[in-house]
C-alpha cells in the first residue's frame, strides 16, 4: 500500500464517522441475542437496514426501530439505541 491509498482510506473513514446514522436503524432482537452469544457483541445486518424490510427473514419477528439520530457509530445493543426503540 502506498501513501495515497492510506490517505484515501483515512478520508473515507473520517467521512463515514461524520454521518448521522438515523435512517432505517432496524434490528431483530433475536439476531442481537444470537450475535452476543456467538460473537460477544451485536452487529448490524445489512438486510435489516433496507427500507423495505420490516420483519426479520430468519426469525419472522418485527424489527425494532431507533427513533433518534446518532452522531456516532452505534450497535443494536447500545443502551442509547435500546432505550428509544420500538417495534416497527
Q: What is the 3-state secondary structure (H, E, C) of 25-87?
A: CEECHHHHHHHHHHHCCCCCCHHHHCCCCCECCCCCCECEEECCCCCCCCCCCCHHHHCCEEE
For 25-73, what is each residue's pLDDT tens digit? 888 999 999 999 999 988 888 888 887 888 999 999 999 888 777 767 7
Confidence (pTM):
0.61
Q: Tell me the torsion sign for CA atoms 23, 28, 33, 36.
A: negative
Sign of the four-CA dihedral 68, 43, 28, 34: negative
Cell of 12: 473515507
Amino acid at each position: 500500500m502506498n501513501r495515497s491509498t492510506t490517505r484515501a482510506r483515512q478520508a473515507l473513514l473520517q467521512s463515514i464517522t461524520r454521518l448521522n446514522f438515523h435512517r432505517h436503524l432496524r434490528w431483530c432482537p433475536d439476531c442481537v441475542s444470537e450475535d452476543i452469544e456467538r460473537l460477544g457483541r451485536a452487529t448490524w445486518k445489512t438486510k435489516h437496514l433496507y427500507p423495505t424490510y420490516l420483519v426479520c427473514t430468519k426469525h419472522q419477528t418485527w424489527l425494532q426501530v431507533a427513533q433518534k439520530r446518532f452522531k456516532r457509530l452505534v450497535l443494536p445493543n447500545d443502551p442509547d439505541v435500546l432505550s428509544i426503540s420500538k417495534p416497527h
